[in-house]
Structure formats: structure tokens, C-alpha cells
Amino acid sequence: MNGGNGDPKELGTFLKARRAELHPLQAGLPDTGGRRRVAGLRREEVAQLAAISTDYYTRVEQGRMQASVPVLEALAQALRLTDDQRTYLFELAGRPQLEPPARPDRAVTPHTRRLLDQLTESPALVLSDTMDVLTWNRLAAALLTDFAQIPEEDRNYVWLLFTDPALRARYDDWPTGARSCVAYLRMHTARRPDDPRLRDLLTRMESHPEFQRWWHAREVAIQGTGNKIFHHPVAGTLVLDWDTLTSSIAPDQHIVIWTAQPGSPSEQALHRLAMASATQGTANEAPHTPLRFR
């Protein structure tokens, strides 16, 4: 009856607990003012809010029926569940979770911004799923390009890889790096094929034959770590490892950090670059406002 690793008994208990703590007025229902036999919402009121029959909801709460994914979405909305509660609901139901609700903007949290600022010896930036550059630290700007001098609508890593000659020249193996970014974008189309940011980017990339050739090859990849060689006019050649950390509260934001092996010439080169950028004031502070990709 139950798919995956769901727990219908716990699911029913969870639903009861959530409806018990929700007042009709909080759920958008009129308060009749009469005495209620149960705390919170009644089963028929939850069913009404979720646009399902009371019998259907009762069976789900009693563990006698597995709710469909759309019904779970409706219940999560009706019961005003938080993102974490919504995730728990789907896990209890043994259902694959749909994509989390779209965030209203691309604002980076203050503690993420603080993390980047404190990484004084490691270049780091935050990318969206469509590789918009949301924010960065001083050393990332010194290593790659001064993002603060680039118009907001152009602050996309894929766009810059194909249109910024200086950034392209930084890469020892530009074709491999650029192709892996294209493969990542292609992977994103399966998750959110109607993403307007992705659609706008693809439209802008139509004039770049290399991008078009790799895009239509339909290679896909999600790579969270790797190694890159950069050639920098000040720091020289740097062999850097990179890792990607995904924000727990904004899963569409990814922190990319480049590091060097301890004691290596690349670590010394990063140190020189950090000193030079601090002295010269390279890279204005990254904006704290959301990116508006047009």
C-alpha cells in the first residue's frame, strides 16, 4: 500500500499534530465562534482547504490510503507547513519530493556573505543553478575577473566564460571547463525545464557556436569537486582544487571554493594575490542585493 520507505502511521500522527495547532483563522477559514470538540482544524476543514473529499483525507490520516504527490502538495499548503515540515511529510508518505518552491529572489544570506569575506586566502563565489554569480569574495575577483565592474545582467559564469577574453585566458584548459559548465546547465533543464533564467541565458547564447555545439550534444554532469589550472598575469600559474557546498536553506545556491595544496607554489601564489588585491583594493565589495537576470 505504501511506496518507498514511508511510514503511514507516523504520517497520520504528523498530520493530526499539524492540524491540531492550526486555528481556522490562520488557515483562512471563518471562525463560527462555537465550541470545538478538537483543537485546531477538523478533518473536513483540512479536506476542504486541500480540495479533496473528507473520506480521502480520513483514509490518508488513518494510514489506509497513500496520498498522491499533488495531494501532498495541497496538504502542505493547507496546513501551512514550513519547508522542513513539507520535506518530512513527503518522506513519511514514501513519495519522491517535487522541486522546492521557487525562491522569490537570489538574495544571499548574511552568514554566507560573512563566510566568503572570512575566506581571505581562498577564492570563493556563490552560483545559482543557472550559474548566475550571486556574490563573491575579494580573492575570487582577483583570480577570475572583477565582477563588480560587470553589469548585473551579464554576471553569469557561463556567459562570461564565452564572452570575457580575460576570464577565458585564465583557464589552462578552457574547452574542458566551458564544456563541463554547459553539461551542468543541460542537467538543470531536467529539473526545471521552464526556468525563465535558463531560457533567457540560452537565448543569449544562440550566437556562440561552441556553446551551441556542446549544448546540442546533450552531455550532462553534476560535478561537485575537481581541479583547475589557472594562468594569472600577477600570480602566475596556479593549480587549484575546487569544491562545491550547497546552502541548506537555499538549495539553489552553491558556494564554490578554490584551495591550494599546503606548502605548494600555488598556495604561495594565492597568498601573493591576496596581498596584492588587498593593497590595490581589487574588486569592490560584492553587492548584497538580489541578482536580477534579464
- All three cell numbers of 135: 556574490
List Cβ neighbours of 76 (8 Å cut-off, separation of 6 or more): 85, 86, 89
- Comparing C-alpha atoms, which of 119, 149, 111 is closest to residue 253? 111
Backbone dihedral angles phi then psi of residue 185, each to the nearest 5 degrees: -60, -40
Beta carbons within 8 Å of 266's beta carbon, 6+ residues apart: 237, 238, 239, 240, 260
Question: Which residues in the chain show pLDDT less than 50?
Answer: 1-3, 101-104, 282-294
The verdict on pTM exceeding 0.75 is no
How many CA atoms lie less than 13 Å away from 48 in the CB half-sphere?
A: 11
Q: How many Cα atoms within 13 Å fall on the side-chain side of residue 112?
A: 26
Residue with cell 536553506: 249
Kindly give, in sequence order, each residue whose CB lies less than 8 Å from that of residue 164, ignoring residues fewer than 6 positions away. 145
Please state whether 270 falls in left (phi above 0), alpha (psi between -120 and 50) or beta. alpha
List CB contacts of 64: < 8 A, sequence separation 6 or more. 1, 8
Place of cell 529539473: 191
Res 235: pLDDT: 93
> Helices marked H in 62-173 — which ranges?
69-78, 83-93, 110-118, 138-143, 157-163, 165-170
Question: Please, what is the angle between helix 43-50 and helix 8-20, to 10°?
Answer: 100
pLDDT at 230: 97
The per-residue pLDDT for 34 is 60
Which single residue is written with the C-alpha cell 590595490? 280
Which grid cell is 263? 606548502
Beta bridge partners of 240: 228
pLDDT of residue 2: 43
Cβ pair 238, 269 in contact under 8 A: yes
Half-sphere exposure of 156 (CA within 13 A, CB side): 22
The torsion of the CA quartet 232, 236, 241, 247, rounded to 10 degrees, works out to -40
Q: How long is the chain?
A: 294
Write the burial class of residue 261 (CB in 10 Å: 0-12 exposed, 13-18 middle, 19+ buried): exposed
Residue 286: all three cell numbers together: 560584492
**In the β-sheet with 236-246, what is the strand arrangement from edge to edge?**
133-136, 124-128, 253-259, 236-246, 225-232
CB 31 within 8 A of CB 45: no
First to last CA, the chain: 47
